[in-house]
Structure 1
């Protein structure tokens, strides 16, 4: 398409969506904000696009995502007529992809190299189809341990590294040590997964690697890199599918639902949550079932499916009471996590006081080193207390949040800090609120408070 040739594809999408140029500009700006970018487009900008100009990446992806959200169907950047001729460096890895390992290694090496990472971060979260793989009968059975000690040790090492980095993320936020995990995986994934080994051992190695890539995806999301995180989630799905590991596969789909909901893609979040429950299979363990249903309850609540959401909550709590197993991010759903997520659902359902009670229980059950999840729980409590006029309680929670904040390298924590200032400004004449606002202003000067990625105003 020539530069000044009218963009009929974009015009058709505006007609299909029922949006004006200003509506599209607002939607793109909002989606960008959720992914750590500051955009200030208006109807004039869209008029330029309609006349044939093309914005720089990741704007075409954001426009496609906005239309996907509006129309309820996947829209690609190519369909908008805004995509430039340059090819996207990495496509999403899908389950069953024969080159999944090679593509993952290439992605990890680019991420581990600061010079190449900028290209990875120049794309936006994609409104891709929800993966629906076919599970072969028996492919999801857990293989027995192989006799060779070396191979058993490698499997155990992968599991230990998952626990280690998940713990680091909870103590310090996802941006802390994220690059170290990417570098570790870049060095080890190809070597471990390309080695000749019996099928049972290869499945265990792929399952362990899928867990570690999943942890990297979660850390990457908390660092503010939504698109790169999505790539890692898809890679984790592919490895888990190849391993026949329904548990890791369903847990990853659930994490993708969490990300989609946070970015404002509610319909996609619901489809991912439903796919997670379905993918877990008929023999899912109680801890897995509680974990998956608690997320589906939340997205159902956002879709005003109140009765179904409450049923999922009740079942999740009943299954959690039956759960047994070793502690770990892929083996046990903590009581603190259960109460935190349940409280979010109760708040959406309008049961504010029950939500506050749930967050208070969650907070009591957090350990001292769980700074990130404790901080997010405190932020949720403070916002909710302030919403019902409990200024003193809100300030107490914000004060404790600010005690934890300097230790965190987390976009979600920074977003909570921004919410703090926004909510308390109206109370700035109250001494306790004024003191918290002053501490919040000082906290924003910490490196951990600064955006981990700042885009140009109008790329």
Structure 2
């Protein structure tokens, strides 16, 4: 008697997509790499799946995502015949959830417990988990306090704002994996208690807005730590809490961050949908800084969607709005010029304007402060890749060398991916002395403990 039954569903999807077994294996490897998983699948791996073997989580979700992108229609893990994930199911906290704060605290407490975190991070990013741009002001109902005790004061609102600045700064200095668990623990304990106490309506709205900001920062850090599915859950939670606070700004900025994540993971239609939803959610009276921030992401998403003229129009409008912006510095109040030029450069590169992109990245570098190691390193990596692509080996090596100076300080999946890109791009030039020296430094950096993948996956689960 055969141990496995042939997987006819997977066979049918291969036929529908026009892919070979090797094509599917490559697509899963690419998606895994973007989510911090080092897979080495090949056609024989897929042959085993076709024979009835089932890979462990989150591979079925990645196979479904690969087919979704290829066929242009949603494909679930169940449709692949590879079985459902054994991990904890993805349960988004959507805007309007009555128990959003309670569910958020439960998620946070599971995250800070290593035994439970394993189940949370075993899932893959859910391509179909796109929130609707719900924004009906008349429906806002600020959740009531759940325990008696002293009243919450405005000073605690200021504390939340300061903590947002603190952790966002730590992430930019050291990468998202640094102090990520500390923020999750702070939210689970301190913020959970604060939100359980009574407060005047205006103060409670401000507390919810401050909490949404902190959860947003946690989501960004979680993505940079190499946990895309858990990050996605935190983004959904931030949306829900921002909605309860009635804060369109934080809500739209969070949707913009979700677009950034989708684009980095290779889900371009989803990224464009989220970028457009962020613009719609922000409303017609958004602050110029927010407007520029949202426009710059929509420009990039449109460029990837081959809407070149619309992308360029968004870039120009973003520059105009940025020039009108005023306000205190902070991750939710002002759009730093370095970020504006960095994002514009990414769009220009997609539009085929490499020299303009290089110029924008150079401006971005000049605007960075010494404390912004992570964003400085990523800008240097982008510059180096672009310089190398147009044949400027010496300039590329100089930028890669500066990147390697910063790399030991970083705990970031994006920095590690840039390091891997460094080696891949320079290998063909290994006989050139400059390139050889940089490659040797890169090899040593990859072997150091800090360069190991932040999220490990077995080679052949």
| Bin for the TM-score computed over the shorter chain | over 0.9
Residue 53 of structure 2 is aligned to residue 53 of structure 1: yes
Cα distance change on mapping 1:433 and 1:140 into 2, 3 Å? farther
CA-to-aligned-CA distance 1:52-72 (integer Å, 9 cap, x gap): 332211111111211222233
Counterpart pick for 2:205 among 176, 179, 203: 203
CA-to-aligned-CA distance 1:271-311 (integer Å, 9 cap, x gap): 11111111111111110010011011111111111100000
User: What SS does structure 1 have at the residue aligned with 2:127?
Assistant: coil
Tell me if the contact between 2:87 and 2:120 (Cα under 8 Å) persists in the aligned partners.
no
More moved, 185-194 vs 391-400: 185-194
- Considering only aligned residues, what root-mean-square deviation do their CA atoms show, in Å? 2.2
What is residue 162 of structure 2 aligned with on the other side?
A: 160
TM-score (norm 2): 0.93
Listed as ranges, the matches of 1:67-86 within 5 Å are 67-84=67-84, 86=86
Tell me if the contact between 1:72 and 1:267 (Cα under 8 Å) persists in the aligned partners.
no
What is residue 145 of structure 1 aligned with on the other side?
A: none
Listed as ranges, the matches of 1:147-296 within 5 Å are 150-296=152-298
Q: CA deviation at 1:254?
A: 0.8
What is residue 457 of structure 1 aligned with on the other side?
A: 459
Tell me if the contact between 2:426 and 2:439 (Cα under 8 Å) persists in the aligned partners.
yes
Q: CA deviation at 1:51?
A: 4.0
Distance 2:141 2:169 in 1: 28
Q: CA deviation at 1:75?
A: 2.8
Distance 1:401 1:322 in 2: 33
Distance 1:243 1:49 in 2: 47
TM-score (norm 1): 0.93
What is residue 146 of structure 2 aligned with on the other side?
A: none
Q: CA deviation at 1:117?
A: 1.6
The alignment of Structure 1 onto Structure 2 pairs a total of residues equal to 453
CA-to-aligned-CA distance 1:342-394 (integer Å, 9 cap, x gap): 01111111111111110111000101111111111111111111111112211
Cα distance change on mapping 1:87 and 1:223 into 2, 3 Å? closer
CA-to-aligned-CA distance 1:102-158 (integer Å, 9 cap, x gap): 22212111111122221112111111242124322467899xxxxx99421111111
More moved, 132-141 vs 200-209: 132-141
CA-to-aligned-CA distance 1:410-443 (integer Å, 9 cap, x gap): 1111111111122222222222222212222222
Q: CA deviation at 1:201?
A: 2.4
In structure 2, list runs of 5 or more residues that go unmatched: 143-149
Tell me if the contact between 1:297 and 1:308 (Cα under 8 Å) persists in the aligned partners.
yes
Tell me if the contact between 1:3 and 1:53 (Cα under 8 Å) persists in the aligned partners.
no
Distance 1:232 1:113 in 2: 16
Tell me if the contact between 2:152 and 2:198 (Cα under 8 Å) persists in the aligned partners.
no
Cα distance change on mapping 1:453 and 1:129 into 2, 3 Å? closer
More moved, 106-115 vs 50-59: 50-59
Q: CA deviation at 1:193?
A: 2.2
More moved, 420-429 vs 304-313: 420-429
Distance 1:315 1:409 in 2: 35
Distance 2:141 2:89 in 1: 36
Distance 1:412 1:181 in 2: 20
